[in-house]
Amino acid sequence: MKKIEVLGLQTVPEIKQADNLPEIIVKCANGEIAGLEDNDIIVLTSKIVSKAAGRMRKLSEVKPGKKALRISKRTGKDAKWLQMIFDEGHQILAIMPLKGIVERHITSASEDSECSRGLVEHEKALCITRGRDGRIHTCDAGIDGSNHPADIVSLLPEDPDGAARQIREQIQKLTGKQIAVILADTEMMPFGTMDFAVGSSGIEPRAKMFGEPDLFGKPKFGGIDLVAYELTAASALVFGQTKAGIPACIIRGYEYEINETENISNTLVPKADNTGVARAIKATMRATAYACGLKMRLLLRIASWFV
């Protein structure tokens, strides 16, 4: 029997700026699971890393600029929220209104429909953005006001991979154990939310088995398993999304490749400038046109000229 365990640490206290996060994780692991073991994988919510690093802002201190105010007027999105996205150096790729079919889907997933409608009315829209490192974020550049006092929001760590590496190195010094660290953050998906890896250290983030033979000896078109994302998603089942209060998980029993150089940003974030992205979009639109009727084919062809 093959077994993988996901162990949630329930004694992690409320993290504050300048807290020694590695010491806290080691102490909680010692008290709850008799300590860390070699090849354990520690998955942390990016929020507690941001808290320890002081990556917080007060909404009351944000001053929206002209661009944020203009977009807010047209979309209903909070101008202060938009300004924080710009302050983080993110480019807005799309703004998705929440009214209509999205609101109905959200409401159907809530036991309090009145509350969910109120939240949708407050948010108005979600921004899909691209950060300085080229990473796509589907929910307001990772800016998060949940599980914070009123008026306080957290920002993603400035260098998630670097933060994962520092935490890993300190924990290894404290314990003498070989471990890996992954930082997790929640993103929107077409039908809900999932936790994704935003930083990693000490683990090969993806499998490199593309083209290897399957059970019948044929080279498989596949095998690029997103290992870091899969481990993060498993941890999210323990983290919870509301008031579970578990910001750290230990994954034990998973056999992974140790890697000291590859991480999320240099492995799972495709590197392309705006020209490369535009070419990929244009090629996709033109190829899609061949599968459509005449009217849609013409529209896609014409639209591809303007990409």
Instruction: Report the CATH number that the domain containing residue 205 is assigned in CATH.
Output: 3.30.1330.100
Q: What is the CATH number of the domain that holds 95?
A: 3.90.1660.10
Is the Cβ–Cβ distance between 91 and 129 less than 8 Å? yes
How far apart CA 42 and CA 54 sit, in angstroms, is 21
Residue 306 pLDDT: 67
pTM of the prediction?
A: 0.90
Q: How far is CA 239 from CA 7, 47, 107, 246, 280, in A?
A: 10, 12, 23, 5, 36
Question: Are residues 168 and 263 both part of a single domain?
Answer: yes
Residue 49 pLDDT: 97
CB atoms within 10 A of CB 274: 9
Residue 162 pLDDT: 97
Question: Are residues 163 and 200 both part of a single domain?
Answer: yes
Instruction: Output Rg (C-alpha) for the chain, integer angstroms.
Output: 21
Enumerate residue ranges in the chain where pLDDT < 50. none
Domain range for 99 is 57-154
Question: Are residues 168 and 40 both part of a single domain?
Answer: yes
Is the Cβ–Cβ distance between 55 and 92 less than 8 Å? no
For 100, residues 6+ apart whose C-beta sits below 8 A from its C-beta are none
Q: How far is CA 12 from CA 16, 45, 47, 170, in A?
A: 12, 12, 13, 17
102: nearest Cα among 85, 114, 120? 120
- Residue 124 gets the label, from left (phi > 0), alpha (psi -120 to 50) or beta, of left
Mean pLDDT score across all residues of the chain: 91
CB atoms within 10 A of CB 84: 21
Here the tokens at position 30 are 């010692």
Question: Are residues 149 and 138 both part of a single domain?
Answer: yes
Residue 242 pLDDT: 58
Question: Are residues 90 and 218 both part of a single domain?
Answer: no
| Coil vs helix vs strand at 240 | coil
Question: Are residues 82 and 211 both part of a single domain?
Answer: no
Domain boundary among 129, 154, 179: 154
Domain boundary among 106, 122, 154: 154
Residue 57 pLDDT: 95
Length of the chain in residues, anyone? 307
Question: Are residues 148 and 175 both part of a single domain?
Answer: no
For 162, residues 6+ apart whose C-beta sits below 8 A from its C-beta are 199
Domain boundary among 154, 169, 187: 154
Question: Are residues 165 and 28 both part of a single domain?
Answer: yes
Q: How many domains does the chain have?
A: 3
Question: Are residues 162 and 47 both part of a single domain?
Answer: yes
Residue 304 pLDDT: 78
Question: Are residues 47 and 165 both part of a single domain?
Answer: yes
Question: Are residues 9 and 75 both part of a single domain?
Answer: no
CB atoms within 10 A of CB 68: 22
Question: Are residues 102 and 189 both part of a single domain?
Answer: no
Residue 80 pLDDT: 96
